[in-house]
Amino acid sequence: MAVLEKPSALEQKPVYVVYGDEEFLRSSVIDAIRSVVLGDDGDEFGVGRFDGKTAALADLLDELATLPFLTPRRLVVLSNADPFVTSHREALERYVEKPHRTGVLVIVAQSWPSNTRLAKSVARSGLTVDCKAPDSRQLAPWCRRWAKDRYNKKLGVEAADLLVELVGGGLGQLSAEIDKLASYVGERTELSADDVDRLVAAGRVETVWKILDAAAAGDAATAVNILESLMSAGEQPVLIFGAISSQLRKLAKAHRLIAGGHSIQAALPKAGINFYTDRASAHLRRLGRERLSRLFGWLTETDLGIKGDSNLPAQHLLERLVVRVAAS
């Protein structure tokens, strides 16, 4: 993403729209906007924050019109903006056409159709930043660019592939691991696959593989016990799910490729499985067609549940997923 690769190139605008489903990108872009608007030394005193689910239009406009104190401008961030935009589209159109001279509005939304009158108005006078999560095939190249741009470290192709396989798809998690790797190697300029294996793979990822080993073999009790021990050690359910989900999605994709005529040897790399291939091959054989064909549905249901679509605790949702995978 150009804004994050070179924040200094970000232009001062009266209105910004930051949209997409990748929280790490959205937060990083908002931080970059804040630096441009308030300066590197600007504090929270110069920022007004509103939640689009509960905010009143009059309060938002009053905040934008409030004269800044000790800063040249006042930054107003409207999070969860989708329902607010739907309810107050015409008022926002009028504001964007004549924004306050010292107020800067940041609209943070999940979606932002470009064919609306409001979007076209923002495109003329403001800036729209797409923060959708990258495709899985773009994750390793993103990690390599991030390591170079942020830490001036070279992350090798093999190391990037291994990092994505071990961590999963969340950019925030990947960034955190790259940060740890950069500190770990010190003055050394290259981050190797051995570094990734030594620092990232220790503990959690190996335990996740043991969960999948047991589940693929149909041993639900062992899989759940390992899962519980992992969470008892302090691992967050969302991180555990990210690691489990990453591997299961790749297995499901490999199954589809094999069903389409690919050999296991050809299907694994096409599905993004470049390491632990013997283990993955064993999982494919043991899980069988029926369980493999249902993985995507189970993972989607678990993901939505963890994000609030279910009344069950995240731990119970993970346990249910593991039991389903283990059921023969």
Lowest mean pLDDT across 85-99, 110-124, 185-199: 185-199
Alpha helices of 233-276 — where are they, by DSSP H?
A: 237-259, 264-270
Label residue 81 by pLDDT band (50, 70, 90): very high
Tokens 């549940």, located at residue: 305
- Confidence (pLDDT) at 193: 85
Does 163 lie in the same domain as 121? no
Q: Tell which residue, 115, 109, 118, has the closest CA to residue 19.
A: 109
**Co-location of 163 and 263 in the same domain:** no
CA 189, 195, 196, 199 dihedral sign is: negative
- What CATH number does residue 225 fall under? 1.20.272.10
Q: In 10 A of CB 195, how many CB atoms?
A: 22
Check whether residue 6 and residue 124 sit in a common domain.
yes
Q: Which of 199, 223, 253 is the last residue of a domain?
A: 199
The more confident residue out of 31 and 136 is 31
**pLDDT at 328 exceeding the cut of 80:** no
With beta carbons less than 8 A apart as the criterion, state whether 22 and 132 touch: yes
pLDDT-derived band at 18, boundaries 50, 70, 90: very high
Stronger pLDDT, 47 or 168, i.e. the higher one: 47
pTM of the predicted model as reported, rounded to 2 decimal places: 0.64
pLDDT value at position 14? Answer: 95
Domain's final residue, options 152, 169, 199 = 199
* pLDDT at residue 89, as a whole number: 96
Strand-pair category, 127-130 with 103-109: unpaired
Answer yes or no: do 226 and 177 share one domain: no
The dihedrals phi and psi of 74, each to the nearest 5 degrees, come to -115, 130
Tell me how far apart the alpha carbons of residues 327 and 92 are, in angstroms, rounded to a whole number: 53
- Predicted confidence band of residue 133 (pLDDT cuts 50, 70, 90): confident
Q: Is the pLDDT of residue 129 over 90?
A: yes
**In this structure, are 13 and 120 located in the same domain?**
yes
pLDDT of amino acid 241: 87
What CATH number does the domain containing 187 carry? 1.10.8.60
Counting residues of the chain whose pLDDT is more than 90, the rounded percentage is 60
Instruction: Please state, in angstroms and rounded to a whole number, the distance separating the CA atoms of residues 264 and 145.
Output: 31
209 and 192 inside one domain: no
- The helix (H) or strand (E) run that includes residue 176 is helix 171-185
Whether residues 65 and 39 fall in one domain: yes
Q: Are residues 170 and 120 in the same domain?
A: no
Among 146, 150, 249, smallest CA distance to 159 is for: 146
How many domains does one find in the chain? 3
One domain for residues 124 and 238: no
Residue 248: give the domain boundaries: 205-326
How big, in percent rounded to 5, are the helix, strand and coil portions of the chain?
65, 10, 25
* Domain's final residue, options 146, 178, 199: 199
pLDDT tens figures, 227-285? 998 888 777 788 788 888 888 998 999 999 999 999 999 999 888 887 778 889 999 99
